[in-house]
Amino acid sequence: MNNLDQISPVSSEVNADGHLVLGGVDVCALAAEYGTPLYVMDLQTLRARCQAYQEGLSARYPDVLVAYAGKAHLSTGLLLVLAQEGLGIDVVSEGELYTAFQAGMAPEKIVFHGNNKSIAELVLAVKYDIRLVVDNLHELENLSGVCAKLGKNARILLRLKPGIEAHTHSYIRTGQVDSKFGMDLPDMCKALETISQAPWCDFLGFHGHIGSQIFQLEPYQDLVAFMIDQMILARDVYGLLVKEVDLGGGLGVLYTEADSPPAISSYLRLLATSLKTSCEAKNLPLPKLIVEPGRSIVGQAGVTVYTAGTIKPIPGIRDYLFVDGGMADNMRPLLYQAEYTWVVANRMLEQPVHTYTIAGKFCESGDVLAKDINLPEVSVGDYIVSYTTGAYNYSMASNYNRFCRPAVVLVGDGQSRVLVKRETVLDVLRFDEWETA
């Protein structure tokens, strides 16, 4: 593949044995040591992506927060790396919040999302002075009761529906009018009216997110313009100053050579320049700029390693290559028809001469990870690698068919360390209760 160097982790090499090497570690050795399926995360790629955002945005805008979208891939060890690079985090659940606490993330660097937050989650956010993104009027009402009970104020942004439809899969669009996320303009006005008279509410500003795996910059330009209009309305009608604007995330990444996402630098330049220029033109004070990259931080950093099992030819139709994982460790092909780039880790110097359909081991006909792709001639026991699996693969993994979820290992400087241990059958059974006769 011509663009493999743009899709694989940045530390990728091929050694003299024709094996894929990540972070200075032979992938075949990783598979032998930790077993497969195996999620591998490359430290060099993670740091490079964090620095591209943190340094790239800070150089273009005076007050910023890069809040990593934790839903993309979250573990305590991973978050420690991101925190070292200056990133904050956006969380959507009590579990993600406690992971942030465990990693020592400062409350002022945490953004708490969610369209149906529980009272317990609201209590946690208010208790620890965490920035809350309020999704709807009912949540605002619940928050009023929580603040009264705790005797504390809530620090909030309102999540809005910008009415912008990014060109991406329908399941990962969020900015359009028909979305479960955010307030339409009438509800926003009701919320602003409530906030303007609520002593328990520290109003920070607005949040808008238009989707995920986005390849065009124009929707972000439209998002900035939409936010400027709401900032003016909040000031002129309700007397509320917008101190923060959260423009979400969603920048796409390369999964195959058919993808063409903008560069991170181009994306950040557009956001920063558009917001500064528009605020100056409308005589608005510059708000803090928050962005929430997820996939574009961790996507390219991750690969998944499988072991090839049965190869089943169906004459005149296709040759199935079965691997020891599938939909339970990567739901995205079934859910989004996602496509990936594949290699054979122990045959990196061989030419792709055979067409395979890669299928998983789960009891579903739709458990197919890749259709009709070209690989070197594969033998049982070879190590099959899928690139760009750092985002959403581990976080969406399940125990379907009582599958033991894979380990996650971090590689860098010739070393590997476990971020998440491989589950065992006893782990899968640990919550079962039964009585013997």
- What residues are annotated to the active site? 363
User: 251: helix, coil or strand?
Assistant: strand
What is the phi-psi region of residue 182: left when phi exceeds 0, alpha when psi lies from -120 to 50, beta otherwise?
Answer: left
Question: Taking a C-beta distance cutoff of 8 angstroms, is the pair 404, 428 a contact?
Answer: yes
Show the tokens assigned to 322: 């079965």
Location of structure tokens 């959260």: 246
SS3 string, 344-357, reads ECCCCCCCCCEEEE
Task: Look at phi and psi of residue 380 and say left if phi exceeds 0, alpha if psi is from -120 to 50, else beta.
Answer: beta
Do residues 249 and 291 touch, judged by C-beta distance below 8 A? yes
Q: Residue 125 and residue 112: Cα distance in Å, rounded?
A: 7
Long-range pairs for 54-60: beta carbons < 8 A, 24 or more residues apart: 54/85, 54/86, 54/87, 56/264, 56/265, 56/268, 57/268, 57/271, 57/272, 57/289, 57/291, 60/268, 60/269, 60/272, 60/273
**285/222 Cα distance (integer angstroms):** 20
- Amino acid code (one letter) for 304: T
